[in-house]
Structure 1
Amino acid sequence: MLTAPSRDLAAAIAEFGEPRGYVAAASIGLPPRRAVEALRADLDAWSRADRDPQGYDPIVERTRASYARLVGVEATRVAIGSQTSVIAALVATSLPDGAEVLVAEQDFSSLVMPFTQRPGIRVRSVALEALADAVEPSTDLVVFSLVQSATGVVADAAAVREAAARHGALTFCDTTQAAGVLPVAAGDFDLTVCHAYKWLCAPRGVAFLTVGERADAVLRPTQSGWYAGDDVWRSCYGTGITLAGDARRFDVSPAWQAWVGAEQSIGLFAGLDVAEVWERAAGLGELLCRELDLPVQRQAIVAWPDPDGTQLARMTEAGIRISGRAGRARASFHLWNTEEDVAAIVRAVR
C-alpha cells in the first residue's frame, strides 16, 4: 500500500485531476492545472495583441531559477535550450580533435548520436553496468542517462563519477527521465541536459543545460545568438555582441509560449520533496513487478518483454495509456498514479 502523501504532494497530485490509466510519463507528462490556465491566459492575451517578446523574459528567468533550485545548482550555471540533441551537439562540437567519448550502449539516440556525427573524435560504447569500469586514462568524456529510457534502470552514477574523476574525464548526464521523479543533483556532474516535457510536465521545447566549473572552461558557445548576449535586447544585430559571462552564453532563444507553461510546471516540482515522489512512483513500479511475477524493479519505469506487442495492445484496448519501447511494454508511474493503475495493468495483461 502507498503511504499517504504529504500535504504538499497531495496538493500537487490534485492539480492533475483523475488521469486513471495514464502510465506514460516517460513518453509525455501531463500538465498541471496551473500550467493549462497560464497557457490559456497567454493565448488570450496574444489574441488581443496584448503580448510582446520582452514580456517573456521574466518568465524565462523565473523558470531558470526554479529549475536551478530543483537540481541544486546556482541559476548562473543553467542555460536554456529546446532539444536534447541540440545541447548534446553543442557539447560534441566543443571537444578537441582526437577526444575519446565513452557512452552507454542503447542509450537514447538524441544524447549519443551527436557524438557519432562529430568528425575527429572516437566514440566507444559499453553496457551501462560496465560504464564505470570502462573509463580509461584516454577517456575525455563519459556520456550517459541517469535513468534509461527503454528500461527505467537507474545508473550507478556515483561509480561513474568516481571513475571519471580518477582518470580526469568529464561527465555529461542526461536527466530527462529523472528530473521531477528522482532527486537530481546536477552539480555532481560536469554537464547535464534535461528536456522538461516528461517528468517535469512542461510543454515540449523547454530544455536545460547545466555547466560545472571544469566544463565551463571547455564548452564553446557555437550556437550563440542574440539571446546569449549579456544585454539580450542590445544583441540583435551584427558580430560585435558581448556574450553573457555565465551559462547564459549558451542560451538559445526560447519558444515563448512553451515557457509560460513550463514556469508553472517546473515551479510546482521545485516546491516538492522529490524523494517523496520517487518513493511513490518506484513503490508502484515494485508492486507491478510483484503482481506480474517480474524481477523486482524498484523504479518509476517498469519494462518487460512484449516482442510482438500483444500485451501492449491488450492494455490499450482496456483504456490504459502506456508505451512500448525496444520490444518491451513500458509502464511509467508518476505522482498522479495509484494502486488502481497497477491493478488495471495486471487485469489487462492476464
Structure 2
Amino acid sequence: MTAFDRLVADFPSGTNYLAACTGGLPTRTATAAMRADLDAWSGGTVSPTAYGAFAERARVAFARIVGVGADRVALGSQTSVLVSVIAAAVPDGAEVLCVEGDFSSIVAPFASQSHRGVRLREVPLDSLAEAVNDDTWLVAYSLVQSATGELADDDLVVAAARAHGARTLVDLTQAAGVLPIDAGRYDATVTHAYKWLCSPRGVAFLTLSEAFEPTLRPIQAGWYAGADVWASCYGAAFELARDARRFDVSPAWQAVVGAAVVLEQFADVDAALIWSHASGLGDALCDALEIPRQGRAIVTWADPEGSDLALLGAAGITASGRAGRARVAFHLWNTPADVADVAAALGSAHR
C-alpha cells in the first residue's frame, strides 16, 4: 500500500462531509493520539517538554509539506496574528496590494495600519499581477480564495512582484494539504492547518525567507521565541532564536499533538496525487451539474438565496455557503459517491 493509499484509508468514509474548506476531518491515527493525550492529561502524566517535542515534530513536518527548511518556519495559532507581524513592518505611507473579497485575516491587519499612512489597495483577483507597480511594498493574497475556490495566477503575480521590487505574502490555508506548495518562492506565507491539513484548530505556521526575516520585528515575542526555550521563561534578559523561531508563540498543547501526527502523514504523500483526486472529483461534480469545469477542489456556484445549500443540508450533506455562493469541497475521504449524492440532492432544481 502506498503512502497515499494509507492516508486515504486512515480517514473515516461515508461521511457526506464536503467541507474541507471549512474544517478538515481528523485521521484515525491523529484522533487516537489526541485521546491518549487526554488520558495522560487526566492522569497527571503530561509535561511541557513532551508537548514541545510534538511542536517540533509539527514544525518539521509542515516544512516538508511546503518545501522549506524547518529553520524558516515559525509556530503560531491564528493567521491574523502572524500577518500582523508583517503589517507592523510595512513602512509608513507604503502601499499594500490585496485582493477584493479575500479572507479578512490576510487583509484586516494591513487596514489597521492606516493611522501610519499605510495604503491598502484592493483589486480583483484576475487583475492582481498587472496591478503591481513601483509603489507597491507588499502583495498579500490567498493562493486559493476562500469564498470562490479560485486560484491566483501565482507565477504572474510572483514575477510582477519581483519585477517591481515588491514583497509577497501568501495565505496557504486553502492550499496546503491539497495543492503542491513551494513556500520558498515567497517572502512570507501563513497557514492555518485546520482545513486541508486536517489538524486541530489552533495550529498555524509562518514561513519567512532569509532575506525578508531581518526586516521584521518579533512583536509578539515570549518565552517560546527564546534561543533556549526553557531558559527563557522569566524576565526579558534572554536571547531570541536566530532563525524564524524568534517569531514563535507557545503552542496550544492539546492541538499540537494531533497536528504533529497528521502533518507527518501528509508530509509522506505527494501533494500532486491529492490534488488530482480532489480536483478530479470537483470536475466530475461540474459535469453532473452541467456547469463549466472549474479544475478545483472547491466547486462553487451562485446561490444567493441559499436554496441549493438548503437542499444539500436536507439530504444530510455537509457543505457551506460563502458570499452568496454554494461551496462544495472534495478531499481525501471523498469518493465518486459524494458526487452522485450532491447531484441527486440538487436534481433538476439546480439546472
Scaled by the length of structure 2, the TM-score of the pair is: 0.97
Q: Distance in 2 between matches of 1:96 and 1:218?
A: 10
Does residue 99 (structure 1) correspond to residue 99 (structure 2)? The answer is: no
**Equivalent position to 2:255, from 254, 258, 261:** 258
Q: Distance in 1 between matches of 2:308 and 2:203?
A: 33
Partner of 1:108 in structure 2? 103
Counterpart of 2:200 in 1: which secondary structure?
Answer: coil
Q: Distance in 1 between matches of 2:53 and 2:210?
A: 26
**Equivalent position to 2:298, from 298, 301, 310:** 301
Partner of 1:347 in structure 2? 344
Q: Distance in 1 between matches of 2:11 and 2:40?
A: 24
Q: Which moved more, 1:210-219 or 1:318-327?
A: 210-219
Partner of 2:163 in structure 1? 166
Displacement over 6 Å in runs of 4+: none
**Equivalent position to 1:39, from 20, 34, 38:** 34
Does residue 63 (structure 1) correspond to residue 96 (structure 2)? The answer is: no
Question: C-alpha displacement at 1:290, in angstroms?
Answer: 1.2
Q: Distance in 2 between matches of 1:324 and 1:235?
A: 45
Residue correspondence of structure 1 range 131-150 to structure 2 within 5 A: 131-150=128-147
Q: Which moved more, 1:290-299 or 1:33-42?
A: 290-299
Partner of 1:3 in structure 2? none
Counterpart of 2:212 in 1: which secondary structure?
Answer: helix
Counterpart of 2:328 in 1: which secondary structure?
Answer: strand
Unaligned residue ranges in structure 2 (runs of 5+)? none
Does residue 189 (structure 1) correspond to residue 197 (structure 2)? The answer is: no
Q: 1:203-226 deviations in whole A, cap 9, x for unaligned? A: 000000000022112111001001
Counterpart of 1:217 in 2: which secondary structure?
Answer: helix
Question: C-alpha displacement at 1:336, in angstroms?
Answer: 1.2
**Equivalent position to 2:225, from 199, 223, 228:** 228
Does residue 26 (structure 1) correspond to residue 21 (structure 2)? The answer is: yes
Q: Distance in 2 between matches of 1:91 and 1:231?
A: 24
**Equivalent position to 1:83, from 68, 72, 78:** 78
Q: 1:271-325 deviations in whole A, cap 9, x for unaligned? A: 0011000001000111111111112101000000111111111110101011111
Partner of 1:74 in structure 2? 69
**Equivalent position to 2:314, from 300, 313, 317:** 317
Q: Distance in 1 between matches of 2:312 and 2:214?
A: 49
Partner of 1:152 in structure 2? 149
Q: In the alignment, is the contact (CA less than 8 A) between 1:193 and 1:210 conserved in 2? A: yes
Counterpart of 1:172 in 2: which secondary structure?
Answer: strand
Letter in 2 for 1:81: G
Counterpart of 1:73 in 2: which secondary structure?
Answer: coil
Q: Distance in 2 between matches of 1:138 and 1:17?
A: 49
Counterpart of 1:56 in 2: which secondary structure?
Answer: helix
Q: Which moved more, 1:236-245 or 1:248-257?
A: 236-245
Q: Distance in 2 between matches of 1:154 and 1:214?
A: 26
Partner of 1:205 in structure 2? 202
Counterpart of 1:16 in 2: which secondary structure?
Answer: coil
Counterpart of 2:107 in 1: which secondary structure?
Answer: helix
Q: Distance in 1 between matches of 2:4 and 2:333?
A: 10
Does residue 277 (structure 1) correspond to residue 274 (structure 2)? The answer is: yes
Letter in 1 for 2:109: P
Residue correspondence of structure 1 range 241-256 to structure 2 within 5 A: 241-256=238-253
Percent of residue pairs identical: 55
Q: Distance in 2 between matches of 1:185 and 1:161?
A: 12
Letter in 1 for 2:288: E
Number of matched pairs: 345
Q: Distance in 1 between matches of 2:249 and 2:14?
A: 34
Q: In the alignment, is the contact (CA less than 8 A) between 1:35 and 1:261 conserved in 2? A: yes
Q: Distance in 1 between matches of 2:267 and 2:142?
A: 21
Question: C-alpha displacement at 1:46, in angstroms?
Answer: 0.8
Q: Distance in 1 between matches of 2:236 and 2:261?
A: 35
Scaled by the length of structure 1, the TM-score of the pair is: 0.97
Counterpart of 1:193 in 2: which secondary structure?
Answer: strand
Letter in 1 for 2:49: Q
Does residue 13 (structure 1) correspond to residue 1 (structure 2)? The answer is: no
Partner of 1:291 in structure 2? 288
Q: 1:29-58 deviations in whole A, cap 9, x for unaligned? A: 000011100000001011111011122111
**Equivalent position to 1:336, from 323, 329, 333:** 333
Counterpart of 2:136 in 1: which secondary structure?
Answer: coil
Q: Distance in 2 between matches of 1:330 and 1:224?
A: 38
Question: C-alpha displacement at 1:8, in angstroms?
Answer: 2.0
Q: In the alignment, is the contact (CA less than 8 A) between 1:62 and 1:263 conserved in 2? A: yes
Counterpart of 2:194 in 1: which secondary structure?
Answer: coil
